[in-house]
C-alpha cells in the first residue's frame, strides 16, 4: 500500500531496514521470494529482528473478506485472475475474523482479519522456513507482529507468532482411518488444491517420524502415470498419508500383479480402509485404446510392442463407450471410456484379488472411483 512507506514510518535511513512488501503483507501462497529474502537477511546480513507489519484499512484483507463466497464455492472459478486466487488464499484470516465476530459490522470484521493475518503470516513464515524456525527456537532472532494505523501514523506492536501446533504425522503408530473419513479428507484436500493453495513444506520432524515409526496411510490410490496428475499434490496430502500406485490408464487390464499385490499389502498390512481408482480427463491411454479398436478386432500383430498390446487390452472400455455413443465425436467417446475404465478397473481388482474382495464384501474396505479434471 503506497500509504505505508516502511522507512518513513520508522524514521530510518538507507541501509537501516531490509524491506519486503506485497499486498496483504503475507505469505499465504508460500511466496518463495519473500521467505527467501528473509532467510538471506537473517543468515547473511545477521539481522536479528523480523517484523510482520499489517495496517488499518488494508485493501487486501477487505478483498479477502469479500472473497469468502468464492473460497467456499463448490467449483473454483476457471478463469480467475492471479489477484482473485490470491485473495481467496487470504480468506482463512477473514473467515476466522467473521467467526469470532459473527454480529459485528463489515468494517470491524475486516480490521480483525488484519490482525489475524499478521499472526498467520508469522506462523506461516516459520512453517515454511526451517532455517528461520531454527533461529527462533535457538533465540538468535525475534519475530514480532505490528499494525500501522494509517490515520494516526502510530505502530502498535502485537507480539510474536502463535505457538506452533503439535506436529500431526500419520505413522505406523496412528489409528486406522475409516473409509468415509479418509474420502472426506481427500475431497477437502482437493478443494484446496483446485482453489490454488500451494502445498505446505514437509518439516524434518515429519520425515524423521515416518522413518522411525513406519507408515499407516489413510487411503490407497491407483492413478494414471500422466505427469499432469500428481496424486499427492491434487489431494493436498503429506508424506505418509496415502499409498499410491500409478500406471498409464490407471488400469489392471492385463492383471498387473505388481499393482494388485501392492494394494493387497496396503490393505492387509497397513490397515488402509479406502481404495480409490482415479482416472482423469484427456487421458492419452484411453485415447490410444479408442484408436486401437481396429487392432483389437484384427488378428494379433506378431511384432506388436508392449505398448500396443497394452492399449489393445484397454479397448473393452473404448468399445463399450463407442457402443453407448455411436454417433458421438471421438472426444466424447474417449471421455466416456475414461469413466468406464475406472469402473472396469475397480471390478477387475475384486475379480483378481480374493483378499480385497473379502474385505470389500465384509464392509472393511471402501472402494471409490474418481475422475480428476
Identify the weakest region by mean pLDDT among 71-85, 176-190, 344-358. Answer: 71-85
Interval 86-107: pLDDT, tens: 888 889 999 999 999 999 999 9
At 31 the pLDDT is 62
165 band by pLDDT with thresholds 50, 70 and 90:
low
Gap between the Cα atoms of 112 and 100, Å rounded: 9
23 within 8 A of 86, measured Cβ to Cβ: yes
Question: What cell was used for 183?
Answer: 474420502
- Percentage of residues of the chain with pLDDT beyond 90: 73
- pLDDT of amino acid 191: 84
At 233-270, the pLDDT tens digits run 999 999 999 999 999 999 997 767 899 999 999 999 99
Least-confidence region, from 27-36, 180-189, 306-315, 340-349: 27-36
Residue 298 gets which letter from DSSP?
A: S
DSSP state of 81: -
Kindly give, in sequence order, each residue whose CB lies less than 8 Å from that of residue 175, ignoring residues fewer than 6 positions away.
Answer: none
Indicate whether 342 pLDDT > 70.
yes
pLDDT digits (tens, 9 = 90+) for 105-120: 999 999 999 999 999 9
**Measuring CA to CA, which residue among 266, 265, 76 is closest to residue 182?**
266
How confident is the prediction for the chain on average, in pLDDT?
91
pLDDT of residue 130: 85
Distance from chain centroid for Cα 56: 32
pLDDT > 80? residue 199:
no
Q: For residues 165 and 85, which has the higher predicted lDDT (pLDDT)?
A: 85
Residue 314: how many other CB atoms lie within 10 Å: 25
Q: Is the pLDDT of residue 294 over 80?
A: yes
What is the C-alpha separation between 325 and 322, in angstroms, rounded?
5
Torsion of CA 25, 162, 235, 359, to 10 degrees: -170
Q: What pLDDT is attached to residue 45?
A: 95
The answer to pTM > 0.75 is no
Model confidence pLDDT, tens digit, residues 29-82: 656 789 999 999 999 999 999 999 999 999 999 999 999 998 888 677 778 898
Are 216 and 270 in contact, with CB atoms under 8 Å apart?
yes
Amino acid at each position: 500500500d503506497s500509504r505505508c512507506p516502511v522507512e518513513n514510518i520508522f524514521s530510518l535511513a538507507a541501509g537501516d531496514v531490509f524491506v519486503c512488501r506485497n499486498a496483504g503483507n503475507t505469505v499465504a501462497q508460500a511466496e518463495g521470494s519473500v521467505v527467501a529474502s528473509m532467510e538471506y537477511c537473517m543468515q547473511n546480513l545477521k539481522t536479528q529482528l523480523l517484523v510482520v507489519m499489517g495496517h488499518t484499512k488494508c485493501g487486501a484483507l477487505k478483498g479477502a473478506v469479500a472473497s469468502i463466497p468464492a473460497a467456499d464455492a463448490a467449483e473454483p472459478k476457471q478463469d480467475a485472475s492471479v489477484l482473485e486466487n490470491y485473495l481467496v488464499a487470504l480468506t482463512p484470516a477473514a473467515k476466522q475474523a467473521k467467526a469470532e465476530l459473527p454480529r459485528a459490522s463489515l468494517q470491524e470484521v475486516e480490521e480483525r482479519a488484519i490482525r489475524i493475518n499478521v499472526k498467520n503470516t508469522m506462523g506461516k513464515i516459520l512453517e515454511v522456513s526451517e532455517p528461520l524456525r531454527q533461529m527462533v527456537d535457538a533465540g538468535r532472532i525475534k519475530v514480532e507482529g505490528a499494525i500501522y494505523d494509517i490515520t494516526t501514523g502510530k505502530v502498535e506492536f502485537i507480539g510474536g507468532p502463535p505457538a506452533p501446533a503439535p506436529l500431526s504425522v500419520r505413522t505406523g503408530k496412528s489409528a486406522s482411518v475409516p473409509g468415509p473419513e479418509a474420502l472426506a479428507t481427500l475431497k477437502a484436500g482437493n478443494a484446496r488444491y483446485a482453489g490454488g493453495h500451494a502445498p505446505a513444506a514437509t518439516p524434518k520432524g515429519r520425515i524423521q517420524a515416518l522413518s522411525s515409526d513406519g507408515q499407516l496411510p489413510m487411503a490407497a490410490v491407483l492413478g494414471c502415470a500422466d505427469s499432469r496428475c500428481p496424486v499427492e499434490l491434487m489431494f493436498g496430502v503429506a508424506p505418509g498419508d496415502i499409498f499410491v500406485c500409478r500406471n498409464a490408464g490407471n488400469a489392471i487390464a492385463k492383471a498387473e500383479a505388481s499393482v494388485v499385490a501392492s494394494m493387497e499389502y496396503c490393505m492387509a498390512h497397513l490397515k488402509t480402509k479406502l481404495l480409490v481408482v482415479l482416472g482423469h480427463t484427456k487421458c492419452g491411454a484411453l485415447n490410444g485404446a479408442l484408436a486401437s479398436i481396429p487392432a483389437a478386432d484384427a488378428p494379433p500383430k506378431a511384432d506388436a510392442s508392449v505398448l500396443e498390446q497394452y492399449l489393445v487390452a484397454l479397448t473393452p472400455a473404448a468399445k463399450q463407450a463407442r457402443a453407448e455413443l455411436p454417433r458421438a465425436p471421438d472426444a466424447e467417446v474417449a471421455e466416456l471410456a475414461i469413466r468406464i475404465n475406472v469402473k472396469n478397473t475397480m471390478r477387475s481388482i475384486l475379480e483378481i484379488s480374493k483378499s480385497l474382495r473379502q474385505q470389500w464384501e465384509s464392509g472393511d474396505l471402501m472402494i471409490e472411483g474418481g475422475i480428476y479434471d
